[in-house]
Amino acid sequence: MGCTNGDQSFLRDICSSKLNVDHIERLETNIMETICKLEMIFPPSFFDSMEHLPVHLPFEVKVGGPVQYRWMYSFER
């Protein structure tokens, strides 16, 4: 199973080098709707703390700026 279109666009927008505050606020709303849609598809046992974490990513982007300057993925590879 792959990512849904909502997940893909959310992660692409979060990792963007150009950020717009209005767009980030829209992402906060959209990720909540995406998680609600996933809750209708998957059983409750699927959801744990990891499915809740994307809710906090737009706030982290607003506070800290573009993620490519803070995430460690380039160093972990």
Span 22-70, pLDDT tens digits: 888 888 888 888 888 888 998 888 888 777 888 888 888 888 888 777 7
Query: How many Cα atoms occupy the beta-carbon half-sphere of 17 within 13 Å?
Result: 0
DSSP 8-state code for residue 6:
H
Contacts of 74 (CB under 8 A, 6+ apart): 68
Q: Indicate the average pLDDT of the chain.
A: 79
